[in-house]
Amino acid sequence: MPVTPNYAFEKRQRELAKKKKLEEKKTRKRDAASSAPENTPAEPVGNDGVAPAATPEDAKGGPRVHRKRSP
């Protein structure tokens, strides 16, 4: 009698591998975030020490949204 594949076992192994890979990715992201410089200013500052003026996008409340025109 030929050996039949155990599909449930193979599926479980794939799920475990995927879960492990996801956990490693989360760990890498967490480590990268914790090693990032924490003393960066909230507002970007220009060469003269003054924050740049607000852009038109900031004044309108965000980026423009393009909508379809009705005929």
Q: Where are the domains of the chain?
A: 1-30
Please, where are the H alpha helices in 1-69?
Answer: 7-35, 56-60
Structure-derived torsion over alpha carbons of residues 41, 44, 46, 50, reported in degrees to the nearest 10: -70
In tens, the pLDDT along 12-65 reads 999 999 999 999 999 999 999 888 766 655 555 556 666 666 555 555 566 777
**pTM assigned to the model:** 0.44
